[in-house]
Chain A
Amino acid sequence: MSAEPITDAVFADVPNEPGAPKPDPILIADDVRRAFGGLVAVDVAHVEVQRNTITALIGPNGAGKTTFFNLLTGFDKPDSGTWTFNGRSMEGVSPTKAARLGMVRTFQLTKSLTRMTVLENMRLGATQQMGERLWAAPFRFLWKDQEADITTRADALLERFKLDHMREEFGGALSGGQRKLLEMARALMVEPEMVMLDEPMAGVNPALKQSLLEHVKGLKEEGRTVLFVEHDMDMVHEISDWVIVMAEGQIIAEGPPDFIGSNQEVIDAYLGAHQNTDLGA
């Protein structure tokens, strides 16, 4: 494990406080609120995600991280609030549109398509496919060449993610960790500007963890922005440039990984000690 956490110079002037403004934010959310019945799952006043960095979104169970992900990517609708991606308002944008605009997510419980082969899973990710239009679909000559290009790209990604030996296997035959890898690789087929990973490490065996970490770092090197939800604090420390902490639907702290580790509010949130001041002292 590389001991040095990545420190990104762009965060030098960013204050370590919730809702801190960033020099070049790709995603800005304001007053995003979502309640289920009486329970407020998400109530984010202001948050910005810096372009071309790896940002971690952490928090105790039930903090609203996945719901916030769902809201940002259009899989759920907030009761109120606005957010922009690349300066474009994303209010009411469908998941389909969000993905096309360059914001692609993965899921906590992997959604590898079990009765399609790994290669088909990958090809599916490619955008702007002529063969996906109804009128062109029956005529193979119209999409044959594009399909070959897509396959080349898919094979390259499969090799990078060390899944090339599983190319012809059904998605259902993969292990949990391999599914996480496949889902990430498939997301890259979309060529997104921003990748949103929901617990990429959950259920992945330790041997695969290191290579997954390297892949996430690789995304940043390619110029992409990564926002990920994670419980594994080792991973958060090792790869993230910036950490956003949620608790009870709100952003309670922001800062570089080292700062977060020593932040009293964060420790309180994780210990559930908000109401009990004795324990905090």
Chain B
Amino acid sequence: MRLNTARLFDGLGGNLTRTRLRRALQVLLAACAFFALTGGTAHADEQTLQVRVQDASETKKVPVEGVHVVVTDASGAVVAEGDTDEKGIAKITVPSDGQFTVTVDTSTLPDGLTIPDGEESRTVNVTAGLGGNAAFNLGHSGPTAASKASLFPKAVFNGIRFGLVIAIMSVGLSLIYATTGLSNFAHAETVTLGAAMTWTFASWFPLSDAAGGWGAFGTLLFASVLGIGTATLFSGGLELGVWRPMRRRGAGLTAMMIVSIGIAIFVRFAIQFRFGSQPKSYKQFASQTNLNWGPIGVTPRDLAGAVLALVVLLLIAGMLMYTRIGKAIRAVSDNPDLASTTGINTDKVILTVWLLGGALAGLSGVIFGLDEQVQWNMGTRLLLLMFAAITLGGLGRPFGALIGALVVGIFVQLWAWWFGNFTDLKNIGALAGMILVLLFRPQGILGKKERIG
């Protein structure tokens, strides 16, 4: 099974030298033509200008039919008009090449679709022989100024809800970081695992398929216990099977961080392998009517999730402040060596933290899966927001993570509220904000400065 190199490179022979020189020259010339932009010389020939209009508010773009577009020349005179076909394309003949302005007649846009301000018209270069192209992307109608203001409380409320869910994940991640120094990339998969297992168990034991009601609730409760249990065991199992042995061998944090990435990739694709790629939702809780308080509307399902998250966070805070194990956790995060000399069993504390972190991650997965959908990469999509939260709050400060998570949650929802039709950019704000905070306050909101040497 030897590679036949002669065969691989045959046909390269004779032509090579001659053409290579020519090509080399071409490359050189091309490099010289660095500044060469296309310049239009006037040709009085008719050219085709192709205008495409599509709904770009979703990941998959959808052509929009029946939109009227108007083409004007440099003097503003209308030279041609047209309507888009079922492919969202209008082929418009213009009298010559050169520069034209294409404008979308916004009154012909279908209901619910809009074009971002200032993008209704655009200048297009039409080249002789090649014609020209213009594409317009529509988004969903942004609310009017008045309704936008009235949506503000809802955005803040949703931000708090989202922030609370992020907070449960982040507090666990932060506690792990505080006690072991490890940035655990596999935390995202613990979240996914909790959510995916809960969904799977719920589909195995349907006490009742009826929407709402005690049967559905019972199923969910039962499945959640099993799902969160799986996440807890997974997290604790990693501590016993991987992290503790690595610590014993004196492995560096970098090595452990890379191992956590390996575990994350393995578990993520193992979930995709078994659970599939399609997002899944809880049918029993899918269609609920909103409870309304003034401008804020929320389904009982989402409200319950938020209240549960809040209660759990308060319990965690209370535990850290007042219980024996909580104080031990704080002692270990302040100084592991000192803590172990004062008789604290560091290994036990760290194991507790991993179990607790796993349980919190699983719970947040369940709440988030109910709120949105259960998918193999749901945790991964939230991982950077978790890191943003714990970095904003100050690495290794569990209470900082809580505040950071709320800031991130509200920030993300307000971004979506403000930028209306381009929600795909909403995470950018949080991530960019995190980088900016690091620039001016590297220790985060609640962080402390470090001593060297």
Chain A positions within 8 Å of B, measured between CB atoms, are 36-37, 66-67, 69-70, 75-76, 107-108, 198
Contact = CB atoms under 8 A, between A and B. Distances in A.
B452 A75 contact: yes
B381 interface: no
A76 B448 contact: no
A75 B449 contact: no
Interface of B: 448-449, 451-453
A72 B308 CA distance: 52
A198 B453 contact: yes
Contact of B453 (A36, A37, A108): A108
B453 A69 contact: yes
A67 B453 CA distance: 8
A70 B449 contact: no
A122 to B, nearest CB: 22
Contacts of B449: 36
B149 to A, nearest CB: 43
Contacts of B453: 66-67, 69-70, 75-76, 107-108, 198
A218 to B, nearest CB: 25
- Which applies to chain A's interface (DSSP): helix, strand, loop or mixed? mixed
Contact of B451 (A76, A107, A198): A76
18 contacts: A36-B449, A36-B451, A37-B448, A66-B453, A67-B451, A67-B453, A69-B453, A70-B451, A70-B452, A70-B453, A75-B452, A75-B453, A76-B451, A76-B452, A76-B453, A107-B453, A108-B453, A198-B453
Contacts of B452: 70, 75-76
A107 B451 CA distance: 14
B104 to A, nearest CB: 52
A203 to B, nearest CB: 16
B341 to A, nearest CB: 14
A76 B449 CA distance: 11
A67 B449 CA distance: 14
Given A67-B453, A75-B453, A108-B453, 7 more contacts: A66-B453, A67-B451, A69-B453, A76-B451, A76-B452, A76-B453, A107-B453
A219 B183 CA distance: 45
Looking at B448, B449, B451, B453, which has the most chain A CB atoms within 10 Å of its CB? B453
Nearest to B449: A36
Nearest to B453: A70
Contacts of A69: 453
A170 to B, nearest CB: 16
Which 3 A/B pairs are nearest by Cβ-Cβ distance? A70-B453, A75-B452, A66-B453
Nearest to A109: B453
A75 B451 CA distance: 9
A101 B130 CA distance: 66
Contacts of A70: 451-453
